[in-house]
Amino acid sequence: MKILIANLGSTSFKYRLFDMGEGVAAQLASGGFERVTDYTSCIESMLESLVGEGHLESGEDIGAVGFKTVLGKDLSGCVDADERVMQALEGFKEVAPAHNPAYAEGIRCFAEKLPSVRRIALFETAFYQWMEPAAYNYAIPQSWRALGIRRYGFHGASHKFVAERSAEILGHTAIVDRVRRLYVDGPGDYSGAPLRVLSCHLGGSSSVTGIRNGVAIGTSMGFSPQSGLPQNNRVGDLDSMAIPYVCKMLGLSLDEAERQLNKESGLLGLSGVSNDARDIQAAAEAGNAAAALATDVLIDSIRHWAGSFFFKMGGAEAITFTAGIGENDAELRAAVCAGLEGLGVQIDPSANAQAIRGAEGIISTADSKIKVIVIPANEELVIAREVFRRVNN
């Protein structure tokens, strides 16, 4: 069965086509479009090239389309992308404005263009559905909680891939199976050797997740993907009182404050240079103090959250790095792990330097008690597997 994964941004459309023979995924093709104004013409161009390259006979040859939906009101998990999903996306469109309208529109276009092809959504929040209430509740009035304001967690497909792959690398086979079947069987009981992972997804947007025996126990992300670590141009954690204070002092409207928190904050706001980690590093190396501060704040925030989950889980067997910054920035990884010898973290500088540009590897020394691992992200594979399972159940 061929499964297409659609990754929709507000101005981009990326896709990957997998062939799921017996549930083992082989990637057949990938591609994408930037500066998109209309998904229907993207779908048409995509089908033209997939048919032209011989991967499909026609659009109907696709067994199912999977969508990495972000945040649904009162809905999570891996579900058919039907009217219920559209309503859930609509219900929280203000909370995830860069993602929810794009997915709603994309799903609608696929429904019109390829009506007979099944559409399935895997919400990014799904990986966090077993967090304890104490880990996801905010201390807000009941009436706010009734609106669904709580910590949800994002980058679920990425952290789930890390949960599975880190267990594979460290030889915890029972945990590999547990993670693979998590959305079907739930966590169940586990009594084997523990595997506690501090999972750092560091890219255009970033988050840290604590994973105990394959199941997420907490996330740096909050009600929206605007929280936690400083993101490329989104704020990350901020004391809520700063917003009314700034509105009063600078005479900003709430809409304008929100725009600045989404578009002019994060690494861009801190550095004043760019929202891209590479540009920021180059500026820091050329002596720009604000750029150096941006990287320092990111590192401090990663350590803050990883430290929190280390404490909550009573230790860790692994620290993992994934996504653009996590997979490429050896210096930042070394800085995140600096001074942790007392906890049993010992980085091997040469292994660390080599684990870049998509290379997987253990970057801690052989006798490091806590293993530090670079794992290239593979969110699409997680989605393809879940979609395949749902279609076949």
Residues that bind ligand ADP (CB under 6 A): 203-205, 232, 276-278, 323-325, 328-329
Contacts of 21 (CB under 8 A, 6+ apart): none
In the bound state with ligand ADP, the residue whose beta carbon lies nearer, of 63 and 266, is 266
Residues in the chain: 393
Closer Cβ to ligand ADP, 152 or 388, answer by number: 152
Residue type present at position 79: V
Write the secondary structure of 337-370 as one string of H (helix), E (strand) and C (coil). CCCCHHHCCCECHHHHHHCCCCCCEECECCCCCC
What's the min distance (Å) between Cβ of 276 and ligand ADP? Answer: 4
Looking at beta carbons, which residue is closest to ligand ADP? 324
Q: Which is nearer to ligand ADP, 170 or 282 (CB)?
A: 282
Q: CB–CB of 286/279 below 8 Å?
A: no
Nearest distance from residue 224's CB to ligand ADP, in Å? Answer: 16
CB of 99 to ligand ADP, least distance (A): 12
**Closest approach of ligand ADP to the CB of residue 254, in Å:** 27
Q: Which is nearer to ligand ADP, 208 or 323 (CB)?
A: 323
Structure tokens at 301: 């925030």
Q: Which long-range contacts (CB under 8 A, 24 or more apart) does 71-75 make?
A: 71/95, 71/96, 71/99, 71/100, 71/123, 71/124, 71/125, 71/152, 71/154, 71/224, 71/225, 72/121, 72/123, 72/125, 73/148, 74/148, 75/123
Least distance to ligand ADP, CB of residue 199, Å: 14
CB 206, min distance to ligand ADP, A = 8
Residue 243 CB, nearest distance to ligand ADP (Å)?
25
In a 3-state reduction of DSSP, which class is residue 196?
strand
Q: Which residue has the tokens 């404005």?
A: 97
What is the Cα Rg of the chain in Å? Answer: 21
CA distance 85 to 101: 12
* Of 34 and 189, CB closest to ligand ADP: 34
Instruction: Please name the helix (run of DSSP H) or strand (run of DSSP E) that holds residue 380, with its range, or none.
Output: helix 379-392
Closest CA to 6 of 111, 126, 151, 97: 111
Spatial separation of the C-alpha atoms in residues 390 and 393, rounded to whole Å = 5
Considering the complex, state which of residue 313 and residue 355 has its C-beta at the smaller distance from ligand ADP.
355
CB of 79 to ligand ADP, least distance (A): 24
Q: With respect to ligand ADP, which residue has the nearer C-beta, 63 or 326?
A: 326
Nearer to ligand ADP, 100 or 368 (CB): 100
CA angle 84, 66, 34 (to 5 degrees): 110
